[in-house]
Structure 1
Amino acid sequence: MEVTYRCFELDPTMERDIKENMYELLAKKYGMSIAQAKANTANMVKMAEEVGLEYQLDTLILTNTFDAHRLTMYAKQHDLSKEMTERILRAYFTESKHIGDHETLTELAVEVGLNREAVKEMLASDGLSEAVRADEQAARQYGITGVPFFLINKKYALSGAQPTEVFVQALKKIIAEDEITVLNGQDGAICDDEGCEIPKK
């Protein structure tokens, strides 16, 4: 099975440099208290811990992620999409790095094996902007409004953070439904790379 990461911005209008922290932004957006915002994110932190991830939401730096998405598209061209995506996510959620900052993104790119000067040049331009927007347009066509969202075989969908068992059950169901059903008997010629065998009558 091949996993392909796609671009999706929760808030494309977000500025690169933001003064508010995660809890202040959530409180402002949803009309709740800071305490409520912290309580609402606690479950996400707990779920991350259960799979070995350490989320530091108290010091997380909010920013516009469009350039980070452009960088993942650039990494994809060099077969480093998975490595780049995971490095950016760790930098953002665990290390409290500013992933809207070009210098930060360049350092992360170098860590996964990309060329420093080429990355700096790409980030300084508007390169791969259309590729990111194409992904986002595709998401809109599929009716995707939030993440995480998993689309399998362009037909089956799982939305939200789900336990491993849900994915296992879904994949088993998909495999079962995609199996080939032979509609006729074994009475025709069968060919493979060693030639053809005509069944005896």
Structure 2
Amino acid sequence: MLIDIFHDTVCPWCRIGKKHLFDALSQWQQETVNIRWHPFLLDDTVPASGYEFRSFMQERKGIQPEALENLFNETKLIGAASGVKLDFDKITLAVNTKLSHQLIAIAPDDIKNQVVEAIYQAYFEDGLNIGDINVLVEIGKTYHMEATELRYQLENHNFFDKIVAESSFARLNGITSVPFFILNNKIQVKGSGSVELFIQALNRAVIMEAKI
């Protein structure tokens, strides 16, 4: 089973969708699953220094502070119901996510899923700046990535062109929002879904594959 996941690392719904998918996979367990992570840059205009989080989100959503807090609270509750922690009070910066996607690209396949989750945790639970190389190097070190080489690759932006190209390619091919999941190049799941929805999609993908 091949699963392509389009996401951004500052998207709370992407973290919720990831949790739903992985919970579904833990129940399903019918065959080996290969997951490929694809960047989808929600806003690549954010500078390296970032923007103040709440004012940026108010402008982006076109809503007043009270409505924004209500949105955060609703999202936080939905996340909690899925077993995902989203602490918007700790987030102070809206960040450019290219560097965090670069860390995912660099990470070996056997730890890539864990690195993705660690980046989500750093941002949504610890309020860390995941556009900061030092933060990303520390995440990599947790998974035994060699710090000096990792810092060199991040500082030299080795994957930036590929990340931007992948994100643009996704938009050109009709993906307008994330999370977005494609199973075996055939079954699409748009949005964060639910565990039950992902189990149904996995079963459909197997049936469609068997018909070939």
Count of aligned positions? 179
Map of 1:97 onto structure 2 = 128
Cα deviation 1:104-127 (Å, max 9, x = unaligned):
111111011100000111111121
Identify the match of residue 41 of structure 1 among 58, 72, 76: 72
Structure 1 residues 103 and 111, CA, compared in 2 at 3 Å: closer, same or farther? same
Runs of 4+ in 1 over 4 A off after TM superposition: none
Question: Which runs of structure 2 are paired with 1:21-100 in the superposition (5 Å)?
Answer: 21=53, 23-60=54-91, 61-76=93-108, 79-100=110-131
Q: d(CA) in 1 for partners of 2:184 and 2:205?
A: 9
Under a length normalisation based on structure 2, what TM-score does the superposition of the two structures give? 0.78
Map of 1:191 onto structure 2 = none
Map of 1:116 onto structure 2 = 147
Return 5+ residue gaps in structure 2 as ranges.
1-32
More strand by share: 2
Return 5+ residue gaps in structure 1 as ranges.
182-201
Map of 1:197 onto structure 2 = none
Task: With a CA cutoff of 8 Å and minimum separation of 6, indicate the structure with the bigger relative contact order.
Answer: 2
* Paired amino acid for 2:50: I
Cα deviation 1:49-101 (Å, max 9, x = unaligned):
1222211112213211111111111114x632112111111101111111111
More helix by share: 2
Q: d(CA) in 2 for partners of 1:38 and 1:128?
A: 35
- 2:186–2:205 contact (8 Å) kept in structure 1: no
Q: d(CA) in 1 for partners of 2:168 and 2:185?
A: 15
Q: In angstroms, what is the RMSD of aligned CA positions? A: 1.8
Q: d(CA) in 1 for partners of 2:166 and 2:143?
A: 23
* Paired amino acid for 2:203: K
Under a length normalisation based on structure 1, what TM-score does the superposition of the two structures give? 0.81
Shift of 1:5: 1.3
* Paired amino acid for 2:38: R
Map of 1:141 onto structure 2 = 172
Map of 1:192 onto structure 2 = none
Structure 1 residues 141 and 155, CA, compared in 2 at 3 Å: closer, same or farther? farther
- 1:73–1:131 contact (8 Å) kept in structure 2: no
* Paired amino acid for 2:117: E
Percent identity over the alignment is 24
* Paired amino acid for 1:111: T
* Paired amino acid for 2:211: I
- 1:17–1:62 contact (8 Å) kept in structure 2: no
Q: d(CA) in 1 for partners of 2:132 and 2:114?
A: 19
Shift of 1:19: 4.2
